Amino acid sequence: MPRELDEIIREVLLIVGALFPIVSPLSTAPIFLTLTRDVSSDSRALLARKIATSSFILLLVSIFIGTYILAFFGISLPVVQVGGGMVVLATGWTLLHRSADEGVPRTQISAAEASQRAFYPLTLPLTVGPGAISVAITLGANRTQGNVLAAVIGSMVIAISVYLSYRFAERIARALGETAMNVIMRLSSFILVCIGVQIVWNGASALLRTRP
C-alpha cells in the first residue's frame, strides 16, 4: 500500500474515531424526532439531508479554519466549551421536562418553516455541538499539512451517519412503539444534560487553570 494512502486511511480513522462518539447520531435521533413532531415525513427527510450537509460543512470549517476564527475574535477554546455547553445543557433540560402532552403532534408546519430549524437548533448544538467543534478544531490544529482528503472523507462519514440515523428515526420509532421511544427520549435528554455539564466543566476547569 502506498505510504500516502496509508496515511490518509489512518487520518480518516482518527477523525471518525474521535468525532463519532461525540456526535453520536444514534443517541440524538430520538431527540431529533421529538423536536420534529409537527413536521411531515417528507419534510423530516429533507431536514435530515440538510442537517447532514450542515454538519459536514461545520466540521470542515472547524477542522480547517476553526483556530483562525477563534484567534480573530480573541475567543479561547475553553470559552467556546463553556458557552456551547450551556446551550446543550439548556436544550437537554427543556426536553427532559417536556410533558407528555407536548409530545402530541400539532398541526404540521410547512417545509419552509421546518428548514429554518435545520441549522439551529438541529445542527448546532444538537448534532454538532461544542464538544464536536472543539475536537474538530484540535484535530485540525494537529493534522498533517496538505492532507485535505482525509479531513473531507472523515467529515463525510460522520455526515452520512447523521443522515441515516435521522432519516430512518421515524421507522425505528414505529418499530419500538411510543412507550419505548418516550423512555429512550427521556434517557437521551438526561444524557444531553450530562454532556452539557461535562462540556461546561471542561471549559471552566481549563479557564481556572490558566487564570493569572
Chain segment 48-58, per-residue pLDDT in tens: 999 999 999 99
Give the pLDDT score at 97. Answer: 81
- Name which of 193, 200, 5 is nearest 92 in CA terms: 193
- The 3-state DSSP class for residue 120 equals coil
Asked whether residue 13 is assigned to any structural domain, the reply reads no
Higher pLDDT, 1 or 160: 160
Say how far apart CA 205 and CA 210 lie, in whole Å: 9
Q: Provide the number of structural domains found in the chain.
A: 1
Give the pLDDT score at 138. Answer: 83
Asked whether residue 127 is assigned to any structural domain, the reply reads yes
Q: Kindly write down the DSSP assignment for every residue of 190-207, as one continuous string.
A: HHHHHHHHHHHHHHHHHH
C-alpha cell at 20: 463519532
Asked whether residue 2 is assigned to any structural domain, the reply reads no
Q: Which domain holds residue 110?
A: 18-209
Is residue 158 a contact partner of residue 19, using CB atoms and an 8 Å limit? yes
Asked whether residue 125 is assigned to any structural domain, the reply reads yes
pLDDT at 38 over 70: yes
Calculated CA dihedral for residues 113, 116, 118, 120, nearest 10 degrees: -130
